[in-house]
Structure 1
Amino acid sequence: MPFLDEIDDEIRHAGLDRAVALADTPTIFDWLVTAFSFQGISDRVARDYINKHGTASWSAIEASEKNAPACPKLRSYWHFEGCRYDKTSSTCAEPDHIDTCPLPRPQLRNGRLNQTAYSLFLFVRDLADGDLVRWIDGQLDSAKGETTSELEAARQEALVGPLRNIYGVSDKILMMTLSTLLIGAREHRPLWLDTGTAMIAVDTLVHNFLHRTGILQDCDSSHAYGAACYSPGGCAEIIRTVAGRIDARTLNPAFPKRFARFVQNAIWRFCAGDCLNLCNGNRIDDRQACQIGYCHLHQRCGRIPLKKAKIGVKTAT
């Protein structure tokens, strides 16, 4: 399915197009919480668990908050820091209140996700005044930059910066979910499209591709996967630079001219096991140069091993 069609299908299925038009925060919140549940595990496993046990919802959390829970951690977004709820051991930072605490009630896959759901709810209630659409509009409007690149970076940070403090969410998951929401709402919010298309989600597949091909080395940007991928000169900036040299409209007239999120997604699809399944650890011995001779990038690829082979250890031939 084409990239934009894939996004639009998800947006329609979740009712997000209507939710953005009507500033329906509960619907957007429910979708975000569900999307956050997919980090750290395969999509299939996460989806199966959600189908069996359900997920957290705005309406349920809002109802629990109206009953004024006794736990001091649930008083506000700022009080919530250090909750430390653990599902397996049924412990938290306020053990005297755990028996009546509403936070463990959603049957989520682990306690971290319960904390994420409540942290996001309290953020939206206390920092966004219960209106996510207006908050996003305000954050984007407040961003400043003298060049297109500076403005794109400022808008992204205006959104991701505050949300980064929500418990249990990473830059990667924020970029993925926000870009889908922003691109999918383009008919109602053209400014959202400009921001969403510039958002890049760097996972290990994308980072490792840039390493194996020698792109990181050629750009003098060798680094370990993690926060450095989003630092100046990191994976995200490299992809953004490449995207600036590609007119995406030649691939699809419906695309914007510069479409960094699409370029990143194309790299991911080249590597992912359920897509082209070429540049990944299942097909390549991380200690050796890639041997996939039929790959159309083979002759131009740096084929740099992901890991250095240990001295004295015999590698496969």
Structure 2
Amino acid sequence: MQTKPFRIGTRGSPLALAQAAETRARLMIAHDLPEDMFEIVVLSTKGDRITDRALSEIGGKGLFTQELEDQLVSGELDFAVHSSKDMPTKLPDGLFLSAFLPREDVRDAVVGRTAPTLAELPIAATVGSSSLRRQALIRRLRPDVNVITFRGLVDTRLRKLADGEVDATLLAFAGLKRLGKSEVPTQLLDPTEFPPAPAQGAICIESRIGDSRVNDLLEAINHRPTFDAVTCERAFLGALDGSCRTPIAGYATVEGTSIRFSGMILTPDGSRWHEVSVEGQTAGASALGASAGETIRAKAGSDFFDSWS
């Protein structure tokens, strides 16, 4: 019988705290446990502390996870809650993604100041984004606009936008919804035209391999369709590069035991891109994503990836 609280690791941003609170609430309901059986432990990560440079310049994926993972490995935390798209494809030895909450809306949201949509922005408008995928996709649709790196918490970016630093910015609609800001977007982008980042909109839980006490607890809130979809998308990332230095999009949908995946890779300037679409069974989700990655890599040819280095 568990007598001391489970320790849940999280970053301290408003979105991260909302995600940890949602995880706790689902566990309380699933196991009929009181709130005081779950302690939310807030840690600062390198990605939180360095906000004046692009992620690609300071190490890419893993910047928002290392401090949490260190305490998972040491046993100071029982599990950690993350935005799935922040997770490197290779995790530290002994850790794995044990559960996923039901996925939110995967679409990217435009928040426009001088025009409501990307298409209506004036020529040479400035658009801010911290994501190389979003930057490349914006340039693909609007090669005339000026795209700049734009980091910070959601409220920080919205304040910079209101202050006139950019004409528009892009954010994940899932995060805005979780923060109670679903009215903020001026445009929601069609995923077929502006595909999301692999694992976008999904909250994942990371824990220790073999820790049956914790993993049995988490299994009760694992949403299997999200688990399978994100497993496929992360395998696609793993077959390519999957760091914050590469413009990669990918989205899988699950219906019953069937899974459908579409992926895209772009050059950073958005001038060249390749797409792939595959279907299969959820039991082979990881192999399907990896195969799609190898297919698109072969289609693009080795010279395509020179721009990623």
**Fold-level similarity (TM above 0.5):** no
Higher helix share: 1
Query: What TM-score comes out, normalization by structure 1 length?
Result: 0.24
- Relative to total residues, which structure has the larger strand share, 1 or 2? 2
1 or 2 for the larger relative contact order (CA 8 Å, sep ≥6)? 2
